[in-house]
């Protein structure tokens, strides 16, 4: 079944779906490498599990959600990597999503999605596309993926068949602001709706990085300067601008960085710290105020068994209010 984890407190589209485990794009910076060997490709979630979720069935991780929340497809593995050409697991899911018109966002670097067989089905879907691309300099860090220029050629094809197309400038490296800014007119010409940017993160201590929560990140003031340059260029080109960097979410056009706000049928989850950051108020659904809707928090954050057992009896709203007062989470969101 589609899963939801620790991103629940930070992300408007926290329910992810992955058809594969592992990814032969082999990007050297990939965070998924922290827990697994990404070069080993296996099947992950199935068409059957996708059907159960779309039909309204929920697990303990998603029992707080009683609406058609848009799925984020490709959270841990690219659904259109080379393995898909052989197995076609993503294609069968794509056909089902076209049939049901269930809203979803997919993230990819894979050229396979622009082959006629896939574009034809995608044109019938209720989909927002995201293509990750930062700079040609990253080609040496993404040895198994299409090059930057190859991904640039993908953009017009995807823009023609999706509700919106977003370019993910992630993970961004300091010092590339002028170069990245120069691509904004090209993106606009290709049919891109907007760009989303997030800084490089590392799991271990690294020179020049600061610890934020469980990660090491660029100092926020340095990121802000670069992001301003890119934002100004995006706006001049007529592009929307979103920020996935939690400490700088308010720089974006909306705190939902996936770019789905305003797309018909796409209703993200706004009961999280993004809402708190925006106006200090979190609005919950009635279901979120119901007891025993907290497993997503317990599994993601709570290590002590005694604390977990108590928390499991609480409501989603109870735990999110605790997160809104947590020093760690507020630090992650850039609130001192």
Distance, in Å, from the CA atom of 46 to the CA atom of 300, rounded to the nearest integer, reads: 23
**DSSP H helices in 6-82:** 47-54
Identify the burial level of 232 via C-beta atoms within 10 angstroms of its C-beta, where 0-12 means exposed, 13-18 middle and 19 or more buried.
middle
Residue listed under structure tokens 């497993």: 295
Q: Reply yes or no on whether the pLDDT at 305 is more than 80.
A: no
pLDDT in tens, 132-155: 999 999 999 999 999 999 999 999
Read out DSSP for 120-188? HHHTTS-EEEEEE---GGGGGG-TTSPPHHHHHHHHHHHHTTSSEEEEEEEEE-TT-HHHHHHTHHHHH
Domain ranges of the chain: 3-278, 289-332
pLDDT confidence of residue 336 = 65
| Cα–Cα nearest to 317, from 280, 298, 278, 291 | 291
pLDDT in tens, 155-199: 999 999 999 999 999 999 999 999 999 999 999 999 999 999 999
Q: Which two tokens stand for residue 46?
A: 């199935």
Distance, in Å, from the CA atom of 295 to the CA atom of 269, rounded to the nearest integer, reads: 17
Confidence bin at 281 (pLDDT 50/70/90): confident
Cα–Cα distances (Å) from 159 to 135, 164, 257, 302, in that order, read 20, 7, 18, 42
Backbone angles phi, psi at 274, to 5 degrees: -65, -40
End-to-end Cα distance, the chain: 37
Return the ∠ at Cα 122 (arms to 76 and 33), rounded to 5°: 10
Confidence (pTM): 0.94
The number of beta carbons lying within 10 Å of the beta carbon of residue 326 is 15
The number of beta carbons lying within 10 Å of the beta carbon of residue 66 is 14
Distance, in Å, from the CA atom of 158 to the CA atom of 121, rounded to the nearest integer, reads: 12
CATH number of 3-278: 3.80.30.30
**DSSP H helices in the chain:** 47-54, 83-87, 89-100, 116-122, 148-159, 177-182, 184-190, 220-237, 273-279, 295-301, 305-311, 316-323, 327-332
Cβ–Cβ under 8 Å, residues 254 and 242: yes
Q: Which two tokens stand for residue 138?
A: 């990253």
pLDDT confidence of residue 279 = 79
pLDDT in tens, 85-113: 999 999 999 999 999 999 999 999 999 99
Q: Which two tokens stand for residue 117?
A: 């067989």
User: Percentage of the chain with pLDDT > 70?
Assistant: 96
pLDDT confidence of residue 47 = 98
């Amino acid at each position: 079944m589609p899963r939801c984890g620790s991103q629940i407190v930070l992300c408007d589209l926290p329910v992810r779906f992955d058809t594969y485990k592992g990814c032969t794009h082999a990007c050297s910076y990939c965070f998924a490498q922290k827990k697994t060997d990404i070069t080993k490709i296996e099947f992950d979630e199935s068409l059957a599990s996708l059907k159960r979720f779309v039909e309204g069935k929920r697990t303990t991780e998603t029992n707080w959600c009683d609406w058609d929340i848009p799925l984020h497809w490709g959270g841990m593995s690219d659904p259109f990597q080379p393995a898909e050409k052989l197995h076609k697991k993503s294609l069968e899911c794509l056909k089902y999503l076209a049939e049901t018109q269930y809203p979803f966002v997919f993230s990819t670097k894979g050229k396979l999605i622009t082959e006629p067989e896939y574009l034809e089905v995608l044109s019938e879907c209720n989909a927002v596309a995201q293509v990750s691309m930062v700079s040609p300099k990253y080609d040496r860090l993404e040895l198994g993926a299409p090059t930057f220029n190859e991904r640039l050629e993908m953009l017009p094809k995807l823009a023609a068949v999706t509700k919106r197309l977003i370019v993910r400038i992630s993970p961004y490296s300091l010092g590339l602001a002028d170069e990245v800014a120069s691509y904004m007119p090209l993106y606009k010409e290709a049919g891109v709706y907007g760009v989303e940017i997030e800084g490089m993160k590392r799991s271990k201590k690294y020179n020049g990085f600061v610890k934020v929560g469980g990660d090491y990140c660029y100092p926020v003031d340095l990121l802000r300067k670069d992001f301003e340059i890119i934002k100004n260029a995006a706006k001049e080109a007529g592009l929307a601008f979103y920020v996935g960097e939690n400490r700088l979410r308010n720089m974006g056009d909306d705190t939902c960085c996936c770019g789905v706000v305003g797309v018909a049928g796409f209703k993200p989850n706004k009961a999280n710290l993004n809402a708190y950051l925006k106006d200090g108020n979190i609005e919950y659904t009635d279901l979120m105020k119901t007891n025993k809707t907290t497993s997503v928090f317990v599994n993601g954050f709570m290590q002590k068994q005694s604390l977990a057992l108590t928390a499991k009896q609480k409501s989603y709203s109870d735990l999110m209010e605790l997160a809104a007062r947590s020093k760690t989470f507020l630090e992650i969101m850039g609130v001192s």
